[in-house]
Amino acid sequence: MELAPCVPNQIGGDMQRRAFLKGATATGATAFAAPYIRPAAAQSRSATLLTLSESGPNNLDIMGVGTNRPGYEMSWNCYDRLLTYAVKKDQNGNDHYDYTKFEPELAESWDLHDLSVTFKLRKDATFHDGTPVTAADVKWSFDRAVSVGGVATFQFKAASLERPEQFVIVDDHTFRIDFLRKDRLTMPDLVVPTPIVINSGLAKKHATDKDPWATEWVKNAEAGGGAFQLEKWTPGQEIIFRRFDGWKSGPLPKIERVIWRTIPSAGTRRALMQRGDADISVDLPPKDVSELAERGKLHIVGTPIENAIQYFDMNVKMKPFDNLKVRQAIAYAIPYQKIMDAAMFRRGKPMFGGSGEVTQPIWPQPSPYVTDIAKAKKLLSEAGFPSGFETTLSFDMGAAVINEPICELTQESLGRMGIRVALNKIPGANWRAEFAKKTLPFSANVFGGWLNYPEYFFFWNYHGQNSIFNTMSYQDPAMDKLIDAARFETDTKKYEDEIEGCIRIAFAETPRIPVFQPYLDVAMQQNISGYRYWFHRQLDYRQLAKG
C-alpha cells in the first residue's frame, strides 16, 4: 500500500489540520503514477492548487464504459481536443464559455466544407512523454471513440460521427473528417470532453488481441498531451496533476500543481475552506453555499447549468410505472417546494408549476405538475393501486449532498399515498454502470447536456435508441421522429415546432419528472482568479491563478 503525500507545507495549518489532511488519503486504495513524470520538486503555495470534492473519478478513460462526471475533469485537463470554445462574461461578470464561437486547441486552423472539415495540426505539439502529435494519433483516437461502445461511441453518433472511414489522415499534420450528412452538432461535438487525442503509440503498447483499444490500461493511466499531466492517482482519495511545461495548445497555465482530494463529508470540506486550508470546493451543499455567500469570506460563484434538470425517472418497462396514471400520480406527489426550500435552499430554478401550454422551444421549462396529494391519490386509485405499492428509489451517493435529502423528502411524501419507498444508495463509483443496466424502477438523477441545444437533451434522454441516460427505458416513435427531424432541420419555424412537440410529449407521457434546474456552485478563496464555467461542470485548471 502506498499513501499519497499530504504536502502539509503547501496547505498550511497546525498539527491537527496536518493530521486530518494526511488522514484524507486513508488506506485501502491502489495508487497509479505516470511512468514518465519526474520527481516532484518543492513548489510555492501560490503555484499549487488544493481542490476538494465529494467524489472523484471512477476511472481515467473518458471514452470508456461507465466513466463518471469527475472523470471528465481529468480528461479535460490532461488531454487536448482539436477545438475549444471561446469565452464570454455572464450577467454577473464571471467567465463563461461561449458555445457560439470555436477557438484553436490542437488544431491551429480548419477549413469547413459542406460535407467535410480539414484540420491543420500544430507542428510543435507533443504528448507528455515527448512524442510528437500526428494525424495518425487523431485518427486512432477517433476510431477508438466510435468503436469502444462507451459514452464516446454514443456521443460521436449523436453528431453523425459513426464510422472509422470518416476519419482520414491527409499527412502527418493534416486530418480530415468526412460527414455522413449535414448535422448541426458535428462541429460542436468536437469540443466536448470525449473527443480526446490519445498518444496512440503509448496506448498500443498496452493493447491485446482481446483489448485492441487498451481500455484496461487507459482507465488506470494517462496518455495525453494536455496542459496538465497525471502525477499520481489514489482512487477514492486523491489525484495529483503537474503542469506540462511543453504544452503548445494555449497559454501556459499559472498553476504548476493541482492536488484534488476526495472528501465525502461536506462539513469537513466546508471547514477546510473556512480555515483557508483548501483553495476551491465544488458542489458544497446548498445550505452551506447559502450561508457562506452571506458571510462573504469566500468567493461564491453560482451558475445555472445550461440544458440541465434534476429529475425523477420511472422505468416504463417495469410495473407499476408502465401505467401512465401511476406516473402522473407520482408527479403530483413530489414535494416540489419542500425540496426547493429545505433541500436546495432555493439554489436552483424551479421546473414545476408551469402553465401546461408549450408555446416556446425553450428547454428546460417548467412542467405543469405541482404537489397535489388529493389528485395523486385519485389517479393512483384509478390506476388500480388504491392502497399504494412498494418500490425502490435509487440515487447516486457520489452526489448524496443533493440526492439524499431530495429522496428522503420524496419518500415521506409518497408514504402519504401508501407508496412504500425503500432508498437504494448506490456508491458513486458504481452509479453510472448501475443505471446503465436499465433495471432501476425509480431513480433520482441530474442530466446536463454538454451542447446547449434542446434536441441534444432529448436525443440523449428520450430517444428510443436508449442511450445510457434514458433510464426511463422510454420509446415512442412520435418522439423519435421529432428528435431526428430537429437534429437536421434547417427551417427555423419547423425546428421550433419540432422542439415544442418533444416537450409536449415529454410532459404528457411523464416518464421523467423535472424538479429544478440546478446551479453549479463553486466556493473559492478570495485570492483565486480565472474561474470559468464549463458545460461539463468540472474545473478547468488552465485559467486559474492564485494571487
Query: Peptide bond preceding 427: is omega within 30 degrees of 0, i.e. cis?
Result: no
Residue 33 pLDDT level (bands cut at 50, 70, 90): low
Q: Residue 2 falls within a domain, yes or no?
A: no
- Which CATH number covers residue 437? 3.10.105.10
pLDDT digits (tens, 9 = 90+) for 322-370: 999 999 999 999 999 999 999 999 999 999 999 989 999 999 999 999 9
State how far the Cα of 497 lies from the Cα of 476, in Å rounded to an integer.
18
Residue 105 contacts by C-beta under 8 Å, 6 or more apart in sequence?
80, 81, 82, 83, 84, 249, 250
Same domain? For 186 and 223 the reply is no
Q: Residue 3 falls within a domain, yes or no?
A: no
Please count the structural domains in the chain.
Answer: 3
Same domain? For 503 and 525 the reply is no
Q: Residue 363 falls within a domain, yes or no?
A: yes
What would the mean pLDDT of 67-92 be, rounded to a whole number? 94
Same domain? For 31 and 159 the reply is no
Answer yes or no: is pLDDT of 76 > 90: yes
Instruction: Provide the pLDDT for residue 46.
Output: 80
Q: Residue 442 falls within a domain, yes or no?
A: yes
Same domain? For 144 and 214 the reply is no
Q: Which of 200, 230, 251 is the last residue of a domain?
A: 200
Residue 13 pLDDT level (bands cut at 50, 70, 90): very low
> What is the average pLDDT value for the chain, to the nearest integer?
91
Q: Residue 1 falls within a domain, yes or no?
A: no
Residue 493 pLDDT level (bands cut at 50, 70, 90): very high
Residue 464 contacts by C-beta under 8 Å, 6 or more apart in sequence?
474, 475, 476, 477, 479, 480
For 441, other C-beta atoms within 10 Å of its C-beta total 17
Grid coordinates representing 450? Answer: 454538454
Same domain? For 74 and 119 the reply is no
Nearest Cα neighbor of 383 from 438, 476, 315, 319 is: 319
Q: Residue 13 falls within a domain, yes or no?
A: yes
Same domain? For 452 and 320 the reply is yes
Same domain? For 218 and 265 the reply is yes
Answer yes or no: is pLDDT of 67 > 60: yes
- Which CATH number covers residue 177? 3.90.76.10
Answer whether 0.85 is exceeded by the pTM.
no
State how far the Cα of 547 lies from the Cα of 2, in Å rounded to an integer.
33
Q: Which of 155, 174, 200 is the last residue of a domain?
A: 200
Q: Residue 117 falls within a domain, yes or no?
A: yes
The residue range of the domain holding 87 is 83-200
- Which CATH number covers residue 54? 3.40.190.10
Q: Which of 145, 170, 200 is the last residue of a domain?
A: 200
Same domain? For 217 and 128 the reply is no
Q: Residue 351 falls within a domain, yes or no?
A: yes
What would the mean pLDDT of 205-226 be, rounded to a whole number? 96
Same domain? For 240 and 195 the reply is no
**DSSP assignment string, 436-451:** HTT--SEEEEEEE-SS
Same domain? For 359 and 282 the reply is no
What would the mean pLDDT of 516-530 be, rounded to a whole number? 95
Same domain? For 509 and 527 the reply is no
Q: Please, where are the H alpha helices in 228-306? A: 266-274, 286-295
pLDDT digits (tens, 9 = 90+) for 410-446: 999 999 999 999 999 999 889 989 998 999 999 999 9
Same domain? For 164 and 229 the reply is no
Query: At CA 399, angle to CA 396 and CA 402, rounded to 5?
Result: 110
Residue 23 pLDDT level (bands cut at 50, 70, 90): very low
Answer yes or no: is pLDDT of 25 > 70: no
Instruction: Return the residue matching grid coordinates 481529468.
Output: 74
pLDDT digits (tens, 9 = 90+) for 432-484: 899 989 999 999 999 988 889 999 999 999 999 878 899 999 999 999 999 99
**3-class secondary structure, 281:** strand
**3-class secondary structure, 432:** helix
pLDDT digits (tens, 9 = 90+) for 133-166: 999 999 999 999 999 988 889 889 889 999 999 9
Answer yes or no: is pLDDT of 37 > 50: no
Nearest Cα neighbor of 468 from 497, 432, 436, 446 is: 436
